[in-house]
Amino acid sequence: MKSTACFLSAGSDGSTPKCYTGPRAGSDAEATYLIRLFLMLALAGTALCAQAFHPSDIFDDAWSGAAEQGKLSLALRNRPLPGFIDVAGSGNGSALGAVGYADAGLTVTPGKEHGTVELVIDIGATSATAEVTLAELDLRSRVAWHLRSLEGGAEYLAEVARDDNGLSLAIRVKTRDRFTTVPGATARAEPALPAVLKLALKSDGLTLTLGTASAFAEAKLPQGATFALAVTDQRARMHTLAIDALLAPVWQQDAHSRVQARRALTRLREFATAGLMGGIRGQEHPSRAKHWAAYTEAQRQTRAAADNAALIALADELAGNALAAHDGGVAALLAGKPKIGLALLERAEKLEAAPITSLALAEAMRRNGRTDDARAALDRARKDLPQALEPDAALIEARLLADTGRLSEAAALLAKAAEKEPGHEQLAVFADSANMLVSPKTLAPSSVPGPFGLALVSDLPDHVLRQVMARVAPYLSVMRDWLPRLPEKLPGRVAIFAGPVEYLSSALLVAGDNLDNVAGMFIPRGMGGEATIMACRAFGEDELARTLVHELWHLCVHATGRALPRWLDEGMAVYLSAGRPSDGRLEHDALPAEFEDFATQQSGALNADALKRAWSAVPAEFYQAGEVRLNYVSAWATVHVFAGQDAGRDLLRKAISGDAAALKALCADAAGLAEKLPAVLKGLK
């Protein structure tokens, strides 16, 4: 499946949760309770978790039938593949480029001898009948149903091949690192096409049929299997895919978890930046009456409407008005514009000091990475702070502690504040988040070795973790190649959550004000005070593997003691995670999954000015809502272009090692680099 990761700074200490899309301005109700969402996430009886899973949540109208049994149907004609089918390949070219769409059907061209392109279908069944109509098979072409056991690691290929003598059927089983034909599971078939290639999965085994020919093999798939269509060696054209399936409980549970994650992330996008500003927005400025006379009737109506963009504009209209500057600053924070919010709130406090303004200013400074200034503003706010705003002050102070890795202190502060204010939902949920980070109750140490010697903690079974670590393993030597002085064993831990509820609840404290599509994060001082990577399998195993590679790069850089420019750190992380392992190295022949829609919809924004902004951005600017996605694309594109040539790779290595001249050379020609980017994007589609 294709999924979008999101990376977002959690604080000035270098922690890097993922976020590509900017937050949306919220209404007062949204501003007040992002936290209600997290109450739903954190409590077992949530509306989110209570929603029953149905296959249509994954397959939309391609599914017909009941929740546990039905039929998946696709024409495979003249339209791109849906999101529940991924395209994977073993060749050197882009796997997506090997697939063509036309009225006559879907054409797959591996483009390399012994090369394979797979259409991986997000479905798992304990019993099923899978069919696809083969319209054409070139000589030496093979098409197979590829089944992977949902548990246990067994794999089977049920294939048809065309040779000089016509068509033949065979069922193969994977033994160690190769597929061998099951004795007796072969047959010759009539050469006439089109014909339906049919596979029946039942409790006693697999039956492959083409016309009047069939082959049978016993198969060990006790929990069911996933399905893919594999085309090997030469071109094949097909259409009319159908899978009549009894869905496997193991797959349904996993799919339900991913649907929960998707629903949660949709809501998080709606509530993204409101996290800590609800109480401040709901409390009236103490000098409202004094400043109200300067407002026209139209301006009063604008303020009453509480539209964030309008309040920001109103602050400019009433430039000398402390109330307008305060309102505009809070609105800017809610709209995901921390630099504007900071400037307006500094103006407001200068015009007239007020505890509520100093409190909002503390949050603005925190979001802009000015930790010491934020603490000073918080101290000023607390001198005459209304009791109603004490919970907000506690939340901001806890986030300041978390931003600098002092999680235990943040947990203690939040627990004390929550005890003092037992009815305050925000404090309760943030306190739970802190406790889950300091002492995760749902995670247990795994016997599976973590990457780079890191401790691995998870609520996933070991056999799943082994599969995930096997996918990550090819990237580790590449990271060592870029960081040759990396210690053999790194301190820290990797925490992998099975489901989105515990993961997102844990993530709230370190990414709450910007939480949007957070697929993973690196916290320099996280669980147990150690460097910690947090990730979640609920977004899909492909996304989990990419996320772990991305965050491992950040952890490795941190372990070397280096402080890379943010664009270089993030650009390398995306570049590595987007690579495809091939013969001991990484191929970069496709766009990162995160940027596929960007390349077609917004590629014109990737220009010299965008590159310069990304290169010069400090963390708070790099992750700023509305800019963060373009900054990530700019950072990745810069790394991708330079890494594609010997001289460029040498510059990158030197810059990563701390060579200031090499770093300057990388950023010397924004216009020239921008000219190359359209061809780069086009070549990777």
Tens of pLDDT, residues 99-126: 899 999 999 998 766 588 999 999 999 9
Q: Tell me if 621 sits within 8 A of 368, measured CB to CB.
A: no
Range list for CATH 1.10.390 in the chain? 444-684
Per-residue pLDDT at 512: 55
Separation in Å, CA 225 to CA 126, 146, 445, 555: 7, 9, 28, 35
Whole-number pLDDT of residue 265: 53
Query: Buried b / exposed e across 55-90, counting CB within 10 Å, b at 16+?
Result: bebbbeebbeeeeeebbbbbebeeeebeebbbbebb
Retrieve residue 438's tokens. Answer: 């300091």
At residue 461, does pLDDT exceed 50? yes
Per-residue pLDDT of 594-627, as tens digits, reads: 776 665 556 678 899 999 999 998 887 787 766 7
Which residue has better confidence, 67 or 261?
Answer: 67
Q: How does pLDDT run across 569-603, given as a tens digit for each residue?
A: 999 999 999 998 877 788 887 788 777 666 555 66
CATH topology of domain 60-254: Jelly Rolls (2.60.120)
In this prediction the pTM is 0.67
| Band (390; pLDDT cuts 50, 70, 90) | very high
DSSP helix/strand/coil, 223: coil
Instruction: Identify the pLDDT of residue 50.
Output: 45
> Which one has a higher pLDDT value, 228 or 279?
228
- Cα separations (Å) of 361 from 368, 493, 574, 641? 10, 35, 33, 40
Residues 48, 264 contacting (CB under 8 angstroms): yes
Residue 72, pLDDT > 50, answer yes
pLDDT band for 372, please (50, 70, 90 cuts).
very high
**Greater model confidence, 87 or 313:** 313
Lowest mean pLDDT among 263-272, 424-433, 499-508, 668-677: 263-272
Average pLDDT over residues 302-318: 93
- Strand locations in 517-619, DSSP E? 520-523, 532-536, 580-582, 585-587
Is the confidence at residue 516, as pLDDT, over 70?
no
Q: What's the CA gap between 535 and 532, in Å, rounded? A: 10
216: β partners? 207
CATH of 284-385 given 1.10.3720.10, 1.25.40.10, 3.30.930.10, 3.20.20.450: 1.25.40.10
Omega within 30 of 0 (cis) for the link into 194: yes
Which of 356 and 368 is assigned the larger pLDDT?
Answer: 356
Residue with tokens 């997000």: 122
Q: Cα separation of 319 and 260, whole Å?
A: 45
3-state secondary structure (DSSP) of residue 395: helix
In 3D, which of 134, 132, 141, 71 has the Cα closest to residue 113? 141
Backbone φ, ψ for residue 101 (5° rounding):
-120, 135
Q: Judge: domain 444-684, CATH 1.10.3470.
A: no
Contact partners, residue 512, CB within 8 Å, separation at least 6: 34, 275, 276, 399, 430, 433
Q: How many residues does the chain have?
A: 685
What residues does CATH 2.60.120.560 cover in the chain? Answer: 60-254
Please give the C-alpha separations between residue 189 and each of 120, 145, 195, in angstroms, as whole numbers: 26, 17, 10
pLDDT, position 21: 28
